[in-house]
Chains A and B, each alone.
Chain A
């Protein structure tokens, strides 16, 4: 039995400790906003925040989470930067199929939390691990800049 803090709530899961957090969120806790894309930390679809840092939940065993707090896409709107990014995403029509976007938003928010005015180089460094097969990169870049400049 693991108890983890997700979006400010304590949640329990009766799973094998090796189970990656991704599958605990999706299959056990019903938080399906965090997506499965590759399972090997190459696509970023499963990005969540662990104590504020972006982490690929598909490679994070639930047993390694410990007391750290998890934020998922379902909870990110509660933070001011999260809300700004979501708004910028809608204003600029960043999203196409949307499947990668939970992860994109989580990565973007983490970037902005640490760097309130990222340049292109910083955006590349933070976002190149997130694949978007629909090809929304151009607008993701704009969206981050929009959110940085007050939305």
Chain B
């Protein structure tokens, strides 16, 4: 979500510099909540908000970021354990409680997980935390043994004094270490001394996911819980007009029917009982002003908005060169998309006059707490949020709309109530990835762009979600991947038109801003190549100057994909190269298009340079998953609106990729010593242009919209 990776890196450094000792180590900030989680046990070494070692040797690490499959528990633990020399296989991990001060993401400053920022943000802070704790343990041991701390070393959870042969595991040192003063500038390991970082480590969160024992938010079962299903107004801003629930009341197991302004909910003995009763209620909605909204009108409004010049993100003297003879141009656009994580939206709430307890899986702990407090009419400190591991976030759980609705319902229920969204409700009444449009222009000279124009139109999600991060002029996320490309462009002109679509709520979606910008940029590069009669690979090579890391991923992907190997008729390869989230990545897609226009993606080859790899196999896994997520969008993804209502409802009409559509995916990680870049989003971002360009190569049809419209690709069809 933070557009300029150099900014984010700066931020991370700053967080380490100021927060690294004062804020994050937080010795002087050892707050009530930390005392509470450490149980007040005197024999606990809890030097900061992230580490607890008890005298019996048990180590607990507090996870400030939410695990939603991206492997962050493992990567963050590795950062601490590397510097602390803690054996990772026995640690216990614990979800951090709501507390922005202690657990605010170093980049966002609030407790949020998203934007591929976790490892980037915590790279230095958590290592500092580990190193500092280690120093305190060493001091405590040295003091006990009356030796110079510099003559002690640590290994696998022990302090060792080689000269005397003395050694102590951390547990017995816990109490003493607590009395040590944290070092002001703890020494971090040199890269070559890493024992954990850079080697694939088994994931710490997955074992209970193999036997059903892991409890997600949807599995929360507080004593006496009842189950609710809800129907929200199908049109944004709609209201309940009237309700006939006579049939529903008669159904077995129905406890309560709750009618709010814009929600009808049924509470029953089982979720099914609630869903069935809800379906039996005849609800008449009053649609309000968006009752006639449609995808077409939304798209027209976007295009209309695109007539404006927009706010300038980059201007290196290109604007005057981008009209008239010799300029090629193209318009690219993306549809609305739902997140559709496998775990449907859900939230369990127990509201009483004095307090509110919430069980949920959220990417935003403190926002969840505040939202629940607002809806419950309580101060935030009266709200306890039990965060859970998440069954898929992708940006959906950066939003607290579901928490608000659940609390509103729970206020009418005596005792805890678990509100579970049906898949239909989850898909049809959600905030969506917005539609975006990109207007591309280029002036070519000698087969090379000499002036480059990119105007992108779309909403600012950042502006709503994290207002301080938006300066009111240019949303860095919205121009991420456009403002800075991997290329040296002699002159460029990049602008952003803020366009908030009316009648739909918009949200972050895996890949965020770069999804549009990389799709447009990389598709247009192929268009330019076509125009200039050059190979897409050669043109890109010639356009790369100072971004040497981009050249390396491009060359590696081309080599591994066998770029020059001949392909049969109606098969093609396409490149997408990007620099976003601090990571360089290149994907080459190989596709076959049959005579009817059906596209089969055969192979995806990715080379990625995300700086120092923390858990290399985790990187591969994230890229594989990200590519599959992107393929779902490219091949099938589309939310359409008619009469203000979403036309899709479940996986039968909101298709996502299945195993038998999954191509061969190869991921090659380039290692270097640069600070880590993000890895959750980049894979997804690279897919659309790579596939579209491969189709371009296979058929000569240049697709400018997603998802792929097969009717344009049938033999003889004209785009």
Contact = CB atoms under 8 A, between A and B. Distances in A.
A24 B227 CA distance: 12
A32 interface: yes
B344 A96 contact: no
Given A42-B650, A123-B659, A136-B625, A95 B392 contact: no
A135 B629 contact: yes
B621 interface: yes
A104 to B, nearest CB: 9
Given A86-B211, A97-B392, A38 B650 contact: yes
B274 to A, nearest CB: 10
Given A27-B272, A97-B390, A124-B660, 15 more contacts: A15-B269, A18-B276, A31-B212, A33-B212, A35-B343, A36-B218, A95-B69, A95-B209, A97-B342, A128-B659, A132-B659, A135-B625, A137-B657, A137-B659, A138-B665
Consensus secondary structure, chain A interface: loop
Interface string A14-43: 011011101110111011111111111011
A133 to B, nearest CB: 5
A99 B270 contact: no
Interface residues of A, number: 60
A40 B211 CA distance: 24
Contacts of A137: 628, 657-659, 662
Interface string B200-218: 0011011101111111101
A118 interface: no
A133 B206 contact: no
Contacts of B218: 32, 35-36
Interface of A: 15-16, 18-20, 22-24, 26-28, 30-40, 42-43, 45, 72-74, 76-77, 86, 89-90, 93, 95-102, 105, 123-124, 127-141
Given A97-B342, A141-B659, A134 B212 contact: no
Interface string B317-361: 000000000000000000000001111100000000000000000
B688 interface: no
A86 B210 CA distance: 6
A139 to B, nearest CB: 7
Nearest to A89: B210
Contacts of B275: 39
Contacts of A33: 211-213
A37 B69 CA distance: 16
22 contacts: A15-B270, A16-B252, A27-B227, A27-B272, A32-B218, A36-B218, A36-B271, A40-B651, A42-B651, A73-B212, A93-B621, A99-B343, A101-B209, A131-B651, A131-B658, A132-B659, A133-B394, A135-B624, A135-B625, A137-B662, A138-B628, A139-B624
Given A27-B227, A38-B650, A135-B624, A32 B215 contact: yes
A95 B341 CA distance: 15
B202 to A, nearest CB: 7
Contacts of B650: 38-40, 42
A130 B270 contact: no
Given A134-B625, A135-B626, A45 B342 contact: yes
